A = this chain, B = another copy of it.
Amino acid sequence: MQVTVLAGGYGGARMAHGFALEADRRAARSEELLELTVIGNTADDLEVHGLHVAPDLDTVMYTLAGLANVTTGWGVRDETWSASEMLERYSEPTWFRLGDRDLATHIVRTKRLSAGERLTTVTVALCAGLGIRSRLLPVTDGRLRTKIRTGDGWLEFQDYFVRRQHADDVHEVRFDGLSEVTATPEVLAAIGSADLIVVAPSNPFVSVAPVLEVSGVLAAVMANQNPVIGVSPIVGGAALRGPAAAMMRTQGYEATSTGVAAFYAERYPGLLDVLALDTADADQAEPVRRAGIRPLVTPTVMYEEQDRRALAVALLEAATRNMPE
């Protein structure tokens, strides 16, 4: 069974981890193998101190490696900050904080990209170094950059997200470079051969959209006749993390799973067969269904590993029920 997850950072990483844990469990018991491919967002990548940083890929990678810092929600656990202190002495801007262990990732990525390697093969090599058995692929090897229009004009994504702590109202989102980039052959193959495609509970506007809108991705997903299941990033009217709820409101949607269903139904009609929404939002099941998407009410909050795997199992069961004849 092949599962392909379209993922942003925080929610995408946890969703991917759930499938990876289930894959490990199946492998240990010699059950039918589950092959996981995670397709990661690169539109929030940035250069920091001259290094290529890929926050969403890294959050997925560190989570799959069991190295994620659960306190911060980003970076590596048991981190040290020696380089950062020196970088401050050298007057480098350090609002985008990089720990010492994390820096090693960016150093290796930058070195290999400078030598002409594709981001895809670099990412695969980094994951191999951390002992990750699943496959993590950037959606594109090209340069894609999210820009956010606020009351202060257009901002770089991480300027809005980290430096200004996503406090601004978001009036508009655009993806610079979109007309020049294409999905990699590996990404298109992973979508084409998937028995289940999962749209992770990541921010629809700035995490999922820049994956879906890369040339080739949406068409490949639509061409795959197997189930496509989304997971709502909104629980009880709020995002577990980040500005998804606020962004939904400024973009004209209510900050509920119904709003999420409406967004996907309008922006990508026919994409989602099923939308998983949290048991706390069971009352949203009917409105979601009216938006043309089958609701799946199930616990979606993934703090603990067991919750992550349980959600993955629930989606796998729903997929089996929703398999085309």
Contacts and interface: CB of A to CB of B under 8 A. Distances in A.
B101 A50 contact: no
Contacts of A245: none
Nearest to A50: B111
Contacts of A172: none
A112 B105 CA distance: 20
A109 to B, nearest CB: 9
A100 B80 contact: yes
B100 A49 contact: no
A110 interface: yes
A320 B271 CA distance: 86
A86 B114 contact: no
A99 B86 CA distance: 11
B111 A82 contact: no
Nearest to A129: B90
Contacts of A107: 49-51, 83, 87, 103, 107
B83 A103 contact: yes
A89 interface: yes
Given A126-B90, A129-B89, A83 B104 contact: yes
A305 interface: no
Interface string A67-100: 0000000001001101111110111100000011
A179 to B, nearest CB: 27
Interface in A110-153: 110-112, 114-115, 125-126, 129-130
A108 B82 contact: no
A109 B80 CA distance: 21
A115 B110 CA distance: 15
A112 to B, nearest CB: 8
B50 A110 contact: yes
A114 B50 contact: yes
Contacts of A112: 50
Contacts of A114: 50
Contacts of A79: 82
A91 B51 contact: no
Nearest to A112: B50
B89 A49 contact: no
Which one of A49, A126, A130 has the highest number of Cβ atoms from chain B below 10 Å of its Cβ? A49
A267 to B, nearest CB: 38
Nearest to A130: B89
A155 to B, nearest CB: 22
A129 B50 contact: no
Contacts of A51: 107, 111
B129 A108 contact: no
A224 B317 CA distance: 85
A86 B101 contact: yes
B101 A83 contact: yes
A79 B100 CA distance: 11
Contact of A82 (B99, B115, B129): B99
Given A89-B129, A91-B129, A100-B103, 5 more contacts: A87-B107, A90-B108, A92-B108, A100-B100, A103-B107
